[in-house]
Each structure stands twice: as C-alpha cells, then as structure tokens.
C-alpha cells in the first residue's frame, strides 16, 4: 500500500468517526429536548381540559432540519417520545459533519414551557438545561465512539 493510500485510509476513518460523533451529538440533544418537554396532564390543572384533549402536542412538535429551521407546527401528539425521537433520528444524514443542524419547536406556548409554565414537570424548561449539558453530551458522544 502506498503512502498516499495510507493517508486516504486514515482520512476516511477520521471522517467516518467525525460523522458518527456529530450524528450522536445531534441525536442526544434531540432526545434530551424531547424527554424534557412536559406532557399535559389535565388532572393537575386548575381548569378542566377542553373536550377531547390529549397531552403530548409540545413533545410531538420537535422538528429536525438541515441548514434552516423548520417552523412548522403539524406534528402528531406524542406523549411517549418514541415517534418524535424516531423522526429526528431518521432525518439526520450519515454525512453529518459540516452541516447546520436545527431542532426547533413552534407550538405557540413553547416559550412558556421553557420559562417554567409546567411547574411540576419542567420548572426549569428544556432548552436551557440541554444547553448546560452540551459539554457532557459531546464528551459522552466522543467517549462512546472512541474505539469504534
């Protein structure tokens, strides 16, 4: 094998690992946001829920997009998190490095949830907490893929 071939092999391995780390970081951030998002439970509310109310609209509305935020508000209700995290994971490209990844939520009340509106489930919000966890998420992603 030539020196040039060896360098290409190393570059390919570095690129593959970098893509795996970035993809894992985006997945872990998305999962963190989804799991931290409260699911409405009318039994704790001061007023009765509207007829047919089902909790999980904010949790189900986390959107993943590349290069520009997705500001849609049409995702299904997801009280468990499996549909939303699956949608996020399924949309992240394998070639993840060098791209701008957005995870957004456009339900009209998301800012209220972020600022403590759900005192019982998310008194400190979701995004701010995930931001403070960013370094740990990156460390965990690189550690998990060190030997891969």
In whole angstroms, what separates CA 80 from the centre of its chain? Answer: 14
Euclidean distance between CA atoms 13 and 10, whole angstroms: 5
Angle (deg, nearest 10), helices 3-36 and 82-91: 160
Domain layout of the chain by residue ranges? 3-144
pTM for this structure? 0.90
DSSP per residue over 43-88, as a string? GG-SSPPPTT--S-HHHHT-EEEESS------PPP-SSSHHHHHHH
Q: Give φ, ψ of 102 to 5 degrees.
A: -120, 135
What are the tens digits of pLDDT across the range 8-53? 888 888 899 999 999 999 999 999 999 999 999 988 888 898 898 8
Q: Which residue has the tokens 């701010």?
A: 128
Provide the pLDDT for residue 7.
83
pLDDT at 56 over 90: yes
Contact yes or no for 113/122 (Cβ under 8 A): yes
What are the tens digits of pLDDT across the range 120-133? 999 999 999 999 99
What are the tens digits of pLDDT across the range 91-106? 999 999 999 999 999 9
């Amino acid at each position: 094998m030539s020196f040039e071939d060896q360098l290409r092999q190393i570059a390919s391995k570095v690129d593959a690992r970098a893509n795996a780390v970035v993809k894992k970081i985006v997945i872990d951030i998305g999962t963190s946001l989804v799991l931290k998002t409260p699911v409405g439970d009318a039994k704790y509310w001061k007023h009765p829920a509207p007829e047919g109310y089902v909790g999980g609209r904010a949790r189900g509305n986390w959107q993943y997009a590349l290069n520009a935020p997705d500001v849609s508000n049409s995702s299904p209700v997801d009280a468990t998190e499996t549909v939303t995290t699956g949608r996020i994971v399924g949309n992240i490209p394998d070639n993840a490095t060098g791209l701008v990844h957005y995870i957004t939520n456009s339900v009209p009340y998301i800012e209220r949830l972020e600022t403590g509106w759900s005192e019982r489930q998310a008194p400190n919000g979701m995004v701010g907490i995930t931001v403070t966890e960013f370094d740990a998420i990156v460390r965990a992603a690189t550690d998990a893929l060190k030997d891969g």
